[in-house]
Amino acid sequence: MTINAVVFDFDGLILDTEYPRFVAWKETYEQYGCVLEDADWHRTIGTKDALDLYALLLERAADRAHTIPPENEVRATKTARELELIAAEKALPGVLDWLDDAARLDLGLAIASTSPPNWVEPHLDRLNIRHRFSVISCWAEPLRPKPAPDVYLAAIDRLGVDAADAVAVEDSPNGVAAAKAAGLFCVAVPNQLTGQLDLSGADVVVPSLAELPLTQLARRLGG
């Protein structure tokens, strides 16, 4: 296999936005005497609209004395806390090294994310890596969210490469399924929320990108 491009997931892979979001929701539930379980959150990772967290909060608070504010108020408070936590996060280990290696190897770089561009791009700007990616493929209708392959297919189409010559980097089962359905070789890097999930659909699973340099992977794959 000759690697011509690398396509990265964003949330939980380049930047740990998943755990701050989980913490912000968990704190919101606790404020109203409820519990958000890890298993609840696992249903939301790497896809869209799998779980209505506000509706679940109402359900779990139904037999308690708390009055839950309107959804827009709850989400606004949660989002402010989430952004506060994310602002302290840096790119996850090995990500910058992979980007440097990709530049040296003259590989195309893209993002394939179920999150919207107005979420992904500001974070890439803050990390000063937006310019590294020639393609940002984010979910929007008529594309289907992961685990459907649509954002990956759109990314490789815009990069002008074949799926067989591209590597996907993911952190969730939904992301792995999307990458493989699109025909990409997939490296899975579990984070602190996805480490308990089944990532066996990936071609390679590593604890951190820092433990598998891109140049080493390219040699292993013969390109």
Q: Is there a contact between 12 and 193 (Cβ–Cβ < 8 Å)?
A: yes
Triad 55, 57, 63: Cα angle to 5°: 110
Task: Specify the pLDDT at position 6.
Answer: 98
Domain 5-15+91-221 falls under CATH 3.40.50.1000? yes
The least confident of 41-45, 122-126, 172-176 is: 41-45
Beta-bridged to residue 187, according to DSSP, are 169, 204
Closest CA to 112 of 159, 164, 79, 162: 159
Residue 223 has pLDDT above 60, yes or no: no
Q: Residues with catalytic annotation?
A: 9, 11
The whole-number average pLDDT for the span 4-12 is 97
Tell me the C-alpha to C-alpha distance, in Å, between residue 89 and each of 18, 43, 110, 120: 11, 23, 21, 14
Block residue for tokens 């979910």:
139
Classify burial at 81, counting beta carbons within 10 Å of its beta carbon; exposed 0-12, middle 13-18, buried 19 or more: middle
- Residue-wise pLDDT for 78-92, tens only, equals 999 999 999 999 999
Task: Look at residues 117, 91, 86 and name the one whose alpha carbon lies nearest to residue 18.
Answer: 86
| Mean pLDDT lowest among 32-41, 57-66, 162-171, 205-214 | 57-66
Domain-wise residue ranges, the chain: 5-15+91-221, 18-86
User: What residues have CB less than 8 Å from 223, skipping those under 6 apart?
Assistant: 1, 2, 3
d(CA 43, CA 116): 19
Cβ burial of 63 (10 Å; 0-12, 13-18, 19+) is exposed
Distance of alpha carbon 9 from alpha carbon 217, whole angstroms: 18
pLDDT at 207: 95
